[in-house]
Structure 1
Amino acid sequence: MKADAARRRSLWFLWGGQCLAIAAMEMSGPFWPLFLRQQVGLHGEALVLWSAALIAAPMMTAFATAAFWGRVGDRYGHKWMVLRALLGLALTQWLIALQELPLLILCLRLLQGALAGVIAAAMAYGLQLCTAHTRSRTLGYLQSATAAGTLMGPVLGGLVSDLWSYTQIFQVAAAACIGVALVMLFTLIDDRKLASARTLSTEAGTPSLACTRTIVQGLLLALVLSQIARMMPQSFFALYVEDSMPGSNMLIGVLYGASGLAMLITAPLWGRRLDGQHRDVVLLQTAVLAMFSAALMLLHTLEQNLWSLLALRFAWGICLAAMMPSLFGLLSQLRATSGRSVGTGQAAVKLGNFSGYLLGGLVAALLSFSLAFSAVALTYLLLALWLWRLRLHSLSQPGMEKETGHVTPV
């Protein structure tokens, strides 16, 4: 009972720490062009290009290093990976505030992607705290922390920039990350000392090793597709809102925040619903949500008013809240170590983020907003078809028809 209480307490501190760390990271998100104009003196096309490069840069190096940090965490403990990510974020944010050359800032952003990775580290640590029957619930719980931080960050960044300057955004973020790291150092239990090892049962009816690897690869591709579809609108949505319903920047922020609010509210609920469900049921539900997301994207091509667009964004956030816990929960069932599953999964996520951000901007620039949303819808339809195919493959394997989520770990 004492160990269970310690785990619950650690999970609470993990949620709060992740929320604050994401808020610190997102404080600078909307203000990169303004920071570069003030600090570096960039204008015009150069300002746009450097802003896009600096936003995308951490995704590239995070994709390359996520699996490595996951394996290190499996060996030395994921608590230390959480602390490493926080201190890496603090160091790079502080150094960025001191730079005046865009190339140096780009190098620091690349370093940030390689050293940080707060979400991946927190997910791997959280999976060490939970049981095999509460994986999706824990992942949904932590996703709500990410959503809360994403909502808080831009507001805090705007407040800091109004009180001081854009440079202070990075300094305040660095100080916040150091404070969170100190609290977590003394409040999180060491996951290496947890009594119950995270091993998955094997049974005679479970599928072969080759089959398991095929399903893992299929889930990784599903993660890539889901994140491409998620990130594509990010690169042009603000311009779409400005073009379709001119108003203040606050309107854009409210519409951005609608999907985040939906994720904050519904991610834990989705997690509880997904726990204990058979794999083919989870795959089917996720495929249906992908089809529903495609329909929501197509509805963006119709003439919108504020309330209908708010409803679309909120409904899309509900779908997003289920997809990550679904896919990561299934992936963690198929991998014997949480760091390995989260690391490879996060590498797929970063690849999808980077690809989606660039692809969305390219399609919107060359074609139109309507066709860009149609391209997002097509990506969601491809995801739905892929998940349906993966479900059929899963059901065709010996042992998959049993009402169990356990498979041979790889």
Structure 2
Amino acid sequence: MTDDSNDYWKRNLIVCVFGSFTTIVAMTLLLPFLPLYVEQLGVRDHAAIVQWSGIAYGATFFSAALTAPLWGRLADRYGRKLMLIRASLGMAVAMSLLGMAHDIWQLVALRLLAGLLGGYASGSMVLVASQTPKARSGWALGVLSAGVMAGNLVGPLIGGLLPPLIGIRNTFLMAGGVIFFTFLATTFLIREAAHAFNGKTRKAGGGWAQIPDKQPIAAMLATGLLVMFATMSIEPIITVYVAQLVEPTRVTFVAGLVMSAAALGSILSSSHLGKLADRVGHWRIIIACLFAAAALLIPQAFVTSSGQLIALRFLMGLALGGLLPCITSVIRHNVPETIVGGILGYSVSAQYAGQVLGPLGGGFVGGHIGMRSVFLGTAGLMAAGALVNLFVERRRSQSQ
């Protein structure tokens, strides 16, 4: 990396954090009012409203998971900035069109389109990982990760505030307009080193054959899936679990606090843990955070008050905050520059898979075995993940 690219990496980071925040807000703001919008589009039966709401919400993440590796490979071949321009413009158009849907099929199709054309946050990870000096990559990716998590936290809040004021359709149009500003900032403010994509880079293939040691990459893909699985596994049971701890009138409020606590902890810790990882090593932080999360999951199964659960989820969020930036850094340091985008695309897909499998696994285990088993089972998986990473890291160190 030359001094020319170093001159611009901080500006690139600022634009990528803003763009990732706004696009994630746009993807999640419809959560509070989605059932109402589905009903406006002609679905009347209560069960059908719930079913179509789930399909419409999941459609974006489904198509995003399928296309993330493709966009990553295209970023390696044609430039990371170009992929961010494509994603921001595509999301601006898709979000605006969502406000013009006339039936439920159009809504689902447009949600699929949003996932297909989007990918700004994952594209930002690729650009920041490749353009930031390696000695600062953990901190930079931690800041970017905090922006993404803040978007997930703020999106539903905005979605609960705006529709009563300006209407559901105008909320989508406003989101599209904000993302258009992201498109303009990306186009005119982000700078990418022109030499990063030469003829050799364009001819680079899919990537796996070019990775000298595949075991660390496989470990990072599995760890990314595991992190999202652990984060999302309690989502289906949290309201029922909280109902055992508080009076009925406070259930939904406390459940919201519990869900937000982990995200808030991750936002606060991600940049600090990333900075620490730049000094002590990314593998050490990954292993320590996995063990810490496993240890914090166990007492969550035996809490006797909502305050205990909120505090433990917050502490768990602090532990989880350092994982995704460190995973990205390890991948960047262990694959050739010409294929880093494609491999990070697979990492994003693995994380989306965790977001899908977490609620499915948590709901199944909670319904058939018991809610405490969700926490204990997830703790076991996190501990196993820490042991696997410890084994891979020691093997890698011995071979060097």
TM-score, normalised relative to structure 2: 0.87
Is 2:221 the partner of 1:220? yes
After TM superposition, the structure 1 = structure 2 runs for residues 7-406 of structure 1, keeping only pairs within 5 Å, are 7-192=9-194, 212-245=213-246, 246=248, 247=250, 249-278=252-281, 282-337=282-337, 338-397=340-399, 399=400
C-alpha contact (below 8 Å) 1:297/1:374 kept by paired residues: yes
| Cα shift at 1:129 | 2.5
CA contact (8 A) 1:141 1:267 kept: yes
Query: Displacement, 1:100?
Result: 4.2
CA offset digits 1:183-224 (Å, max 9, x no partner): 2211111343579xxx9xxxxxxxx97761222222212222
CA contact (8 A) 2:6 2:132 kept: no
| SS of equivalent residue, structure 2 residue 8 | helix
Structure 2: runs of 5 or more not aligned: 202-208
- 1:243 deviates by 4.8
The letter for the 2-side match of 1:299 is P
Change (3 A) 1:310 1:324: same
Check the 8 A contact 2:211/2:334 in 1, yes or no: no
Q: Distance in 2 between matches of 1:150 and 1:124?
A: 20
Deviations 1:242-268 (A, max 9, x none): 453231644333332222222222111
In structure 2, what is the Cα distance between the partners aligned to 1:276 and 1:53? 44
**Residue 133 of structure 1: CA displacement?**
1.5
- 1:88-134 per-position Cα deviation (integer Å, ceiling 9, x unaligned): 22222222332243333223222222221121111111123211212
More deviation, 126-135/22-31: 22-31
Distance of 2:140 and 2:211 partners within structure 1? 29
Tell me the SS of whatever aligns to 1:134.
helix
- What's the counterpart of residue 206 of structure 2? none
Taking the aligned partners of 2:168 and 2:243, their CA distance within structure 1 comes to 24
The change in CA–CA distance for 1:360 and 1:51 in structure 2 (over 3 A counts) is: farther
Percent identical among aligned pairs is 25
Q: Tell me the number of residue pairs that the alignment of Structure 1 and Structure 2 aligns.
A: 385
Instruction: Provide the aligned C-alpha RMSD in A.
Output: 2.7
Extract unaligned runs of 5+ from structure 1.
200-207, 400-410
Q: Return the offset for 1:270.
A: 0.7
What letter is aligned with 1:344? Answer: Y
Distance 1:219 1:248, change over 3 A: closer
SS state of the match for residue 322, structure 2?
helix
